[in-house]
């Protein structure tokens, strides 16, 4: 039986993915599919999307943007001096040192977690540790 918290997580994940697809269809010069190379988004792009696509509910948009901007591919793109894009794919500012440092820290944290999980799984199944 699935726990209520896991069910909520699965629902949020599904909503985020569906909304990301909407954003990709509506703003293809700004958003990229999962796994594709990303470009940092304009600061406060949330407001621009709300104005251009008011039919997308606020919470769905929040979930989708969080999912998009917390992915490793996106975090790797957030480096100091990189340009940010608006909804039409045009340059809209640059990534500053502070934002780049935050992205680097988040990326390092996200890359540590799967390694520990993989290690535990291998250890639990008697796997070899090289």
Of the options 3.30.70.580, 1.10.1710.10, 3.10.50.40, 3.40.50.150, the CATH number for the domain spanning 4-103: 1.10.1710.10
Residue with tokens 């940010």: 84
Q: pLDDT (tens digit, 9 = 90+) per residue, 49-87?
A: 999 999 999 999 999 999 999 999 999 999 999 999 999
- From first CA to last CA, the distance across the chain in angstroms is 36
Q: pLDDT (tens digit, 9 = 90+) per residue, 19-45?
A: 999 999 999 999 999 889 999 999 999
**Measuring CA to CA, which residue among 89, 76, 107, 85 is closest to residue 29?**
89
């Amino acid at each position: 039986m699935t726990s209520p918290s896991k069910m909520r997580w699965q629902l949020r994940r599904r909503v985020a993915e569906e909304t990301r697809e909407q954003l990709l269809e509506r703003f293809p010069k700004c958003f990229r599919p999962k796994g594709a190379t990303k470009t940092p988004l304009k600061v406060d792009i949330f407001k621009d999307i709300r104005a251009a696509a008011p039919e997308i509910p606020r919470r769905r948009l929040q979930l989708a943007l969080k999912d998009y901007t917390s992915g490793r591919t996106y975090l790797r793109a957030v480096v100091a001096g990189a340009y940010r894009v608006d909804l039409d794919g045009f340059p809209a500012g640059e990534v500053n040192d502070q934002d780049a440092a935050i992205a680097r820290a988040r990326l390092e944290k996200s890359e540590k977690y799967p390694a520990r999980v993989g290690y535990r799984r291998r250890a639990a199944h008697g796997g070899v540790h090289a």
